[in-house]
C-alpha cells in the first residue's frame, strides 16, 4: 500500500483556494485507492528553523565530521522532518503564490530537508544526484494575479519553476499539476475554479 503526504503551504484555512482544491484531490484519492493519507501543515509550528547551528552542522557533515552540541541538536531536528517526509512514496503539495514565488514556510521546509545523504549526494566531478527516486508528486498551484499569457505587470512565475526544479533535483521526476489562476480581467473566477476542482478530482482518482 502506498503512503501519501499532503504538504500544505497556505495559512488561510477555509479561505484557501489551494487547500480547497487539495481536499478535492484527496477525497477522490481516498475513494479510489484507500491508501494511507497524512497531512503536514507547514504552519503548525513544528518546522524547525535552519539557522547558524544547523548550517554549521551541514558544513561539518560535508567535511566528513560529526556535529556536536547545538549543531547536533539542530541536525537531529532537521533529520526528524526529513524522515517523516521520506517515509512516504507519494506527495501532494498545495502551494499558493506569494510575491511571484512560494510562501517562505515552504522554502524553510526545503532548506530543512535538503541535506547531503538525505535528498542528494554530491560528486566533485559528476555533481548532484537526487536520492528520492521512485516517488511521485502532485502539485496544486494557485495565484490571484499572475497567469500565463498576462502582461509582466501581473507578475512572473517563480513558483512552479522553483518547486518542480527542487523536486527533480531530489530525484522525483514523476510530477503532475493542477493550476487555478483566475483571470481578474473577466471577473469570472468560478468557471476556472470548477475546472480546477474537476481536474483535481480526476488526478486524485488516477494518481
The binding site for FMN consists of 10, 16-18
CA-nearest of 104, 118, 111, 92 to 171 is 118
Specify whether the CB–CB gap between 91 and 138 falls below 8 A: yes
Sign of CA dihedral 51, 167, 165, 131: positive
* H/E stretch holding 110: helix 104-113
Task: Classify residue 45 by its DSSP letter.
Answer: S
Known binding-site residue numbers: 10, 16-18
**What are the strands of the beta sheet with 3-8, ordered from one edge?**
36-41, 3-8, 90-96, 136-142, 174-180
Phi, psi of 59, deg, nearest 5: -65, -35
Residue 12: other Cβ atoms inside 10 A: 13
CA atoms of 168 and 88, how far apart (whole Å): 16
Amino acid at each position: 500500500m502506498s503512503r501519501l503526504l499532503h504538504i500544505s503551504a497556505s495559512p488561510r484555512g477555509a479561505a484557501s483556494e489551494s487547500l480547497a482544491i487539495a481536499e478535492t484531490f484527496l477525497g477522490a484519492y481516498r475513494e479510489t485507492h484507500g491508501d494511507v493519507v497524512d497531512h503536514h501543515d507547514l504552519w503548525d509550528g513544528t518546522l524547525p528553523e535552519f539557522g547558524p547551528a544547523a548550517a554549521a552542522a551541514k558544513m561539518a557533515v560535508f567535511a566528513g565530521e560529526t556535529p556536536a552540541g547545538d549543531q547536533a541538536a539542530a541536525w537531529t531536528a532537521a533529520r526528524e522532518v526529513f524522515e517523516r517526509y521520506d517515509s512516504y512514496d507519494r506527495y501532494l503539495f498545495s502551494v499558493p503564490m506569494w510575491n511571484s514565488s512560494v510562501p517562505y514556510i515552504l522554502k524553510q521546509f526545503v532548506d530543512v530537508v535538503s541535506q547531503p545523504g538525505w535528498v542528494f549526494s554530491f560528486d566533485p566531478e559528476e555533481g548532484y544526484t537526487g536520492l528520492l527516486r521512485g516517488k511521485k508528486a502532485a502539485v496544486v498551484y494557485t495565484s490571484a494575479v499572475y497567469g500565463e499569457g498576462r502582461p509582466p505587470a501581473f507578475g512572473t512565475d517563480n513558483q512552479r519553476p522553483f518547486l518542480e526544479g527542487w523536486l527533480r533535483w531530489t530525484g522525483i521526476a514523476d510530477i503532475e499539476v493542477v493550476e487555478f489562476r483566475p483571470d481578474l480581467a473577466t471577473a469570472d473566477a468560478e468557471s476556472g475554479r470548477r475546472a480546477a476542482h474537476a481536474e483535481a478530482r480526476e488526478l486524485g482518482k488516477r494518481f
